Amino acid sequence: GLVTLTRLACYLQSSVFTRHRKLLLQILLPHVTRLHQIRTPPVAAMMQEGLDDGPDFLSEEERGPRAVNVDLQTDATLQVDISDALSERDKVKFTVHTKTTLPNFKQNEFSVVRQHEEFIWLHDSFVENEEYAGYIIPPAPPRPDFDASREKLQKLGEGEGSMTKEEFTKMKQELEAEYLAIFKKTVAMHEVFLCRVAAHPVLRKDMNFHVFLEYNQDLSVRGKNKKEKLEDFFKNVVKSADGVLVAGVKDVDDFFEHEKTFLIEYHNRVKDASVKSDRMIRSHKSAADDINRIASTMYSIGTQDSTDMCKFFLKVSELFEKTRKIEARVAADEDLKLADLLKYYLRESQAAKDLLYRRGRALVDYENANKALDKARAKNKDVLQAETSQQLCCQKFEKISESAKQELIDFKTRRVAAFRKNLVELAELELKHAKGNLQLLQSCLGVLKGDT
């Protein structure tokens, strides 16, 4: 902990300070110390959240990564987590920490610093690797997006002169909290990706993965330039067109046919649910913000005078201040347990669909190879070549089919477990907050009624 802190402190000192960075750092420094993981059996549970010094029911809670695979618990041979993270002007630096007993690594415990692009590079290397065609590739973490938050921070800095000190402090606190929340989320998502890879029996052995974990220099992975992005775009277009064709081919195997229909429908519905949940949570946040403003306005009315009514207003403003914190927490928790869950499974179901696509593609290739072989035999020309080709296709197809089946079953298990965990936690948190709110309201009403 101390080592990390001093390292960070040095790092911070050396950076060039702009006004924004100053603000950002002011915000982060007190919190960075808390970005230590807490080791608990499943996979490393995350940072603690301490927004304010409120009463107990407002304090810390744990968060786990989204996809909880029950098998992950017992694996001590390779444990990966993100022990630290630092946000700079336009990038986030993650400290990837590995603990392993595997012989392939030089040490048993080590850390490297990685950026988002390097994660993407790793993910893409999996996708492009033919060997892994039969596996669900863990979805890549989304890009850290602090733009909105940064904008707000900038506006706040500019408008500093035009608002009262209390308002400024309050807004700054809110923005800090928001920034922190986004920050923690992105760290969690990057961690989940690594954990999934580490838990996968085949992927964990990947060379690139080992390099990623161990090589403590910059991987010199640059983001894709415009040309490459354009290529990607076209590739995707072709792929989706192809995907439609491939999906149209009815599968002989019932299991896969069922999975295909299921996944397509499920994916669409998860997408819908994810979008709608986002909207709902945003409204909730707005409502909480409004209560905040009501609290401040009532406070300023209450401080005008010392009449009975003013005292009354002050008490009510206090109450609203507290309840809005709880409401904000409710929205944040819903975001975490529900919206993020849905988003994650949106991405995973897409990855599962991709797997099915690859299998479908292999099947089509196999069938085409069969046809080619028949034709070659008929013409008695290039038969050997056709035979080898057909055999390759057959092998490839069967290999994919075999692993795909297991992968899809695992996916189901993981999904059910993750939903269960998150729904239970969601319900518990909602209850906790509602009870907290209730308590606040009851005590306040008691005081107010007693006064009158």
Partner 1 sequence: MEASTERNPPPFPDPMDRETNSNKLEEESDDEGEDIFTGNIKSTSGTPVNQIPTDIFTEEGSGTTLQSHRVPQQDANGLRSEDDQDLFSEATVELSIDKVNNRERKEMTRPSPSVQDISFKSSATNKSLEEWEEEENKDKFELNIAVTNPEKVGDGMNAYMAYKVSTQTTLPMFKSTTFSVRRRFSDFLGLSEKLSEKHSHHGYIVPPPPEKSVVGMTKVKVGKEDHSSAEFVERRRAALERYLKRVVSHQTLLQDPDVREFLEKDELPRAVSTQALSGAGFLKMINKASDAVNKMTIKMNESDNWFEEKFQEVENEEQQLRKLHTVVDALVNHRKELCVNTAVFAKSMAMLGTSEDNTALSRALSQLAEVEDKMEHLHQEQACSDFFLFAELLADYIRLLGAVRNSFDHRMKTWQKWQDAQNTLQKKREVEAKLLWANKPDKLQQAKEEITEWEAKVTQYEGDFERICTTVRQEVLRFEKEKARDFKIHIIKYLESLLLSQQRIIKYWEAFLPEAKAIV
Residues in contact with partner 1 by CB under 8 A are 262, 265-266, 269-270, 272-273, 276-277, 279-280, 282-284, 286-287, 290-291, 293-294, 297-298, 300-301, 304-305, 307-309, 312-313, 316, 319, 323, 412, 416, 419-420, 423-424, 426-428, 430-431, 434-435, 437-438, 441-442, 444-445, 448-449, 452
CB of 444 to partner 1, least distance (A): 7
Per-residue burial over 69-98, b if 16 or more Cβ lie within 10 Å, else e, is: beebeeeeebbbbbbbbbbeeeebebbbbb
Nearer to partner 1, 110 or 262 (CB): 262
Nearer to partner 1, 124 or 430 (CB): 430
Distance between CA atoms of residues 393 and 380, nearest Å: 20
Nearer to partner 1, 118 or 251 (CB): 251
CB of 90 to partner 1, least distance (A): 32
CB of 447 to partner 1, least distance (A): 11
The token pair at 227 is 């040309």
- Cβ neighbors of 169 (< 8 A, separation 6 or more) are none
- Cβ neighbors of 14 (< 8 A, separation 6 or more) are none
Nearer to partner 1, 228 or 265 (CB): 265
Nearer to partner 1, 131 or 451 (CB): 451
CB of 58 to partner 1, least distance (A): 15
CB of 402 to partner 1, least distance (A): 22
Q: Render 400-436 in DSSP notation, one character per residue.
A: HHHHHHHHHHHHHHHHHHHHHHHHHHHHHHHHHHHHH
Q: Render 115-161 in DSSP notation, one character per residue.
A: EHHHHHHHHHHHHH-GGGTTS-PPPPPPPP--HHHHHHHHHHHHGGG
Nearer to partner 1, 108 or 300 (CB): 300
Q: What are phi and psi of 117, to 5 degrees?
A: -60, -35
Structural contact between residues 158 and 148, judged by C-beta atoms closer than 8 angstroms: no
CB of 427 to partner 1, least distance (A): 4
Nearer to partner 1, 111 or 437 (CB): 437
Distance between CA atoms of residues 353 and 267, nearest Å: 8
Query: In angstroms, what CA-CA distances link 396 with 207, 376, 386, 399?
Result: 22, 21, 15, 5
CB of 36 to partner 1, least distance (A): 30
What DSSP state is assigned to residue 104?
A: T
